[in-house]
Amino acid sequence: MTNLTERFLTYVRFCTTSDETTRVTPSTPGQMVFAKYLKDELERIGLTEVELDERGYLMATLPANTDGKPVIGLIAHMDTAPDASGENVTPRIVKNYDGEDIVLNREQNIVLETAKYPEIRNYKGCDIIVTDGTTLLGADDKAGLAEIVTACEYLLAHPEIKHGKVRIGFTPDEEIGEGADHFDVKKFAADFAYTMDGGAVGELEFENFNAAACKIHIHGVNVHPGYGYCKMKNSLLIAGKAVSMFPANETPACTQGYEGFFHITGMNGTVEETTVSLIIRDHDRARFEARKQQARDIVNAINAEFGEGTAEAEIRDQYYNMREKVEPVMHIVSLAEEAMKAAGVKPKVQPIRGGTDGARLSFEGLPCPNIFAGGENFHSRFEYLPVQSMEKAAQVILQILQQA
Write out the catalytic residue numbers. 79, 174
Burial (CB < 10 A; 0-12, 13-18, 19+), residue 286, is exposed
Q: How far is CA 23 from CA 19, 178, 221, in A?
A: 8, 10, 29
Nearest by Cα to 42 from 180, 169, 173 = 169
**CA 282 – CA 212 distance, rounded (Å):** 9
**CA 251 – CA 263 distance, rounded (Å):** 6
What is the number of other CB atoms lying within 10 angstroms of the CB of residue 155?
21
| Cα 11 → chain centroid | 16
Nearest by Cα to 373 from 159, 146, 163, 155 = 146
**CA 323 – CA 320 distance, rounded (Å):** 9
| Cα 96 → chain centroid | 28
| Cα 81 → chain centroid | 7
**CA 176 – CA 199 distance, rounded (Å):** 18
Strand order in the sheet with 385-386: 92-94, 128-130, 385-386
Cα angle value 131/136/139 (rounded, 5°)? 90
Residue 163 DSSP SS3: coil
Nearest by Cα to 176 from 373, 32, 295, 26 = 26
| Cα 58 → chain centroid | 17
Q: Do the Cβ atoms of 104 and 112 come closer than 8 Å?
A: yes
Residue 336 DSSP symbol: H
Report the amino acid identity of residue 178.
E
Report the amino acid identity of residue 18.
S
Nearest by Cα to 257 from 319, 317, 207, 201 = 207
**CA 227 – CA 20 distance, rounded (Å):** 38
